[in-house]
Amino acid sequence: MSEILDVDLLAFESGTEGQRRAVVDAVRRSLTTGFVYTSHDLSETLLDDAYGMLERFFSLPVEQKVKATVPGSHGQAGYTGLLVETAAISDTPDWKEMLNWGARVPSGHPLRTRFPHRYLGPHLPEEQVPGITKVLLEFYDRVLELQRRFLRIIALGIGCHETFFDQMITNGTTLTRAIHYPAMSLAPDQSHVWAAEHGDINLVTALPRATSRGLQVKTDDGWIDAVPPDDGVIINTGIMLEHVTNGVIGQGIHRVVADPGHPGDRYSVVQFCHPTPWTILAPVPTCITPDNPQRFAPIEAGDLLDQVLYDINLVEDARRVEGGDAD
C-alpha cells in the first residue's frame, strides 16, 4: 500500500463498536507506509502561540540561540545548531537547527535517580522569548495525551489490550523538537534535501502542523508527499514500535525536501513518544507466528536510544561526521 489514510481518532473514542473496528483496520492498513493522518482536538490557539514563539526564537542571532544549549544532552534538550544531526545512512549533516524539550519528573523519582541524564528538564529560552516555557510545556502535555490515545488504536490492532502502552509511556522520555529548515535558493529544476532519509527512534511521532510542505514518505512505489488535511495530525511509527510488533508495523521512513514550488523557511514541531528508559522492548506474542518468527531480541529502551543517538551523530564527544555545532 502506498497511500496514507485519514482516520478519525474521535470516532474511535466515541463511536459504535463497528466504527471503532473500522478505525483500527484503517490504521493498520495505513501503517504499512509507517504513516497515518488523524483528526484531533488540539487547541488551534495553542498551536498558533507555539509556532509564533518558536519563529521568534529561531530568528534570533546565533549568539542568543546558543545560550539555550545544554551540554551533554546529545540533542535531547535545549538548542542544537545547523549541520549536526546526520541520518544514520548519510555522511552529510542535515540542514536544520532544533530546539528540544522533554519530560519533567519530580526530584527523587526512581527514574530520575537511575537515569539523571534522561531527565534534564525543559531548558527553554525564557530569557530570550518571555512566556515560551508555559506555552511549550502545555504543547508537550496536550500532544502526549493525543499520542497516548492514538497508541490505544495501535494496541488493539496488534491484538493487545488497548491500554497496553499506557504505563510504558507514563513518565517516559518523550521529546518535543521544534525544527527550523532555512530557506534555500533553488533553480526551477532543483531540489534540496533538508533532512536525509531516516526512521525515528521512538514508538510514534506526532506532527500537528508544519508551515510548508516538504515531508516525504518512502513507499514501495517511491517517495510520496505527506500532506494531511488542514485539521489533521500526522502520526508516524518508529524503531521502538517496530521492535515491539516484531516488524509487523515497520518504522516510517521519511525525509524533508525543499523544492522551488515552496520557497522560504520551513518550521515544524514534532513530538517523539518514548517509553520509560527501563522498558524492555520485546516482541509481543501476538506478533510472533510461524510465518513471522521473532526478529528482535529484547533490549532496554534506553540502550536502544543510546545506540541510535550515536548513529545519527548526536553524541557530542563521538561525532562520526564533523559539521557545524551550537558552539
Q: Which residues contact 324 (CB under 8 A, 6 or more apart)?
A: 81, 82, 83, 84, 93
User: d(Cα 288, Cα 4) in Å, to the nearest integer?
Assistant: 26
Length of the chain: 327
Residues 214, 226 contacting (CB under 8 angstroms): no
CA 269, 272, 273, 274 torsion-angle sign: negative
pLDDT digits (tens, 9 = 90+) for 129-168: 999 999 999 999 999 999 999 999 999 999 999 999 999 9
Mean pLDDT of 305-324: 72
Of the pLDDT bands very low, low, confident and very high (cuts 50, 70, 90), residue 325 is very low
Nearest to 114 by CA among 316, 308, 277: 277
User: d(Cα 229, Cα 251) in Å, to the nearest integer?
Assistant: 22
Of the pLDDT bands very low, low, confident and very high (cuts 50, 70, 90), residue 263 is confident
According to DSSP, the residues that pair with 141 across neighbouring strands are: none
% of the chain at pLDDT higher than 70: 94
- Domain regions of the chain by residue span: 6-311
Report the range of poorest mean pLDDT among 85-99, 133-147, 151-165, 211-225. Answer: 85-99
pLDDT > 70? residue 184? yes
The CATH number given to 6-311 is 2.60.120.330
User: d(Cα 36, Cα 260) in Å, to the nearest integer?
Assistant: 26
